[in-house]
Every structure is written in structure tokens, then in C-alpha cells.
Structure 1
Amino acid sequence: MTFAWYGHLKFQEWGWMKKSVLWSVILISWGFALFEYIFQVPANRIGFKENGGPFSLFQLKIIQEVITLTVFTVFAILFFKTESFKWNHLAAFVCLILAVYFVFRK
């Protein structure tokens, strides 16, 4: 999803994508997003407590947010060379780790 949502912002730097219209960028981005959905939807279904999995709905969402933000951070630093990781980003990560702690606390 990260590449689908933010990767297209760099498409203009690629020669063959410079003159692409918005609908083609949308279709390409949805193609990338479909790949993630193919894995994420079954994972949520299998992991959900009411389907025999170990996680509540809130736990699944918190796990997904932490994974998404981690992937986004690596993506932004590597793909967008103009972005930098600052102390407030680290503070936000700590808050997410605390969210994981609290959502799994009995």
C-alpha cells in the first residue's frame, strides 16, 4: 500500500511515466495495492479471534498500523532522498510501541 499511495509521487521522474494521465497512475497504484490486499485480507481473516485466530479486532488494527508505519519509514528514507528521519518521528514510533503494549495488555 505504501508504494501504491506514495510511490506515484516519484513516477514523474521516470521517463515513461512523465506524461501519464491521472487515471493511468490510479490503475498502476491499484495494481500494487491489489498485491497487498491479496495477503492482508486472508491474514486478517485467519488471525481474527472469532475465526479461530489469536487476535481481537483492535489488536489486528494496531499490528497493521505499526507494520505500515515501519514500511513507510523505510520506503520514505530510501525512495525519497529528500526526507529525513527526525526525533519527533522516533517519538511517534515510541507511542505506537506503547499502543501495541496497551492493546495486548490483559
Structure 2
Amino acid sequence: MRTVVLLIISNVFMTFAWYAHLKNLRTRHWLIAVAVSWGIAFFEYLIQVPANRMGYGRFSLAQLKILQEVITLAVFVPFAVLYMGTSLNWNYLWAGFCLAGAVFFIFR
């Protein structure tokens, strides 16, 4: 359970590192966005690396990766809708179904 919680927290950081600059630093030079994103990503790695190290052995490498992808979508959808102001659409649901299939096959 610690692995999952830490991966969720790290993914929140990484989602902001990858995408928040599109809203907040749009008018700044792209190198500023890179520096800010790297700063955020540093904290993501401080959480993500221990999470994967704790989880490896309990989960296979493939299971860790699929778990990360499910968490990525679960974090990204609220981020996109609530923070970035995009509209919720059916594609998120279909992507979720595809990931549910991946979870089924990798964890069976």
C-alpha cells in the first residue's frame, strides 16, 4: 500500500512538472519552464524512486509499470479538468477501460 500511495504523490508532482507550465508559464521563455519543471520533477523523483524500490519484489517490473499508468490517468483526468480547465469527455473513460484490460492481463 505504501508503494501505491507514494506513486500517487509522485505522479501529482510529475503531472504538474509536465503540464502546469502550459498554463502558468505560457508567456515565459521555454527555458524558464524547463527549470521550473526540473525543480518540481526533482521532488517527484525523491518520492518515485523509493516507491519503486519498495514495490519491486512485491510487484513485478511490468506490474509496477501498469500500476503507474493507471495512477497517471487517475491523476491526470482531475488535473486536466479542474486545474487546466479542459472538458471531461468520453475518451478518458475509454482510456480507463483500456488500462483496466492491461491491469487484468498483467496481474492475473
TM, length-normalised to structure 2: 0.81
Match of 2:52 among 21, 25, 44: 44
Distance 1:32 1:88 in 2: 28
Match of 1:96 among 86, 99, 108: 99
Q: SS at 1:88's partner residue?
A: helix
Match of 1:77 among 67, 78, 81: 81
RMSD: 1.3
Q: CA deviation at 1:88?
A: 2.4
Moved over 3 A (4+): none
Q: CA deviation at 1:95?
A: 1.2
Match of 1:22 among 18, 30, 47: 30
Unmatched runs of 5 consecutive residues or more in structure 1: none
- 1:58 equivalent in alignment to 2:59: no
Work out which of the two has the higher radius of gyration on C-alpha atoms and give 1 or 2: 1
Once the two structures are overlaid, the 10-residue window that deviates more, 55-64 or 38-47, is 38-47
Q: CA deviation at 1:99?
A: 1.0
1:6-54: per-residue Cα shift (whole Å, max 9, x none)? 10001147xxxx4x322221111111111111111111111111xxxx1
The number of aligned residues is: 95
**Sequence identity, in percent?**
56
TM, length-normalised to structure 1: 0.82
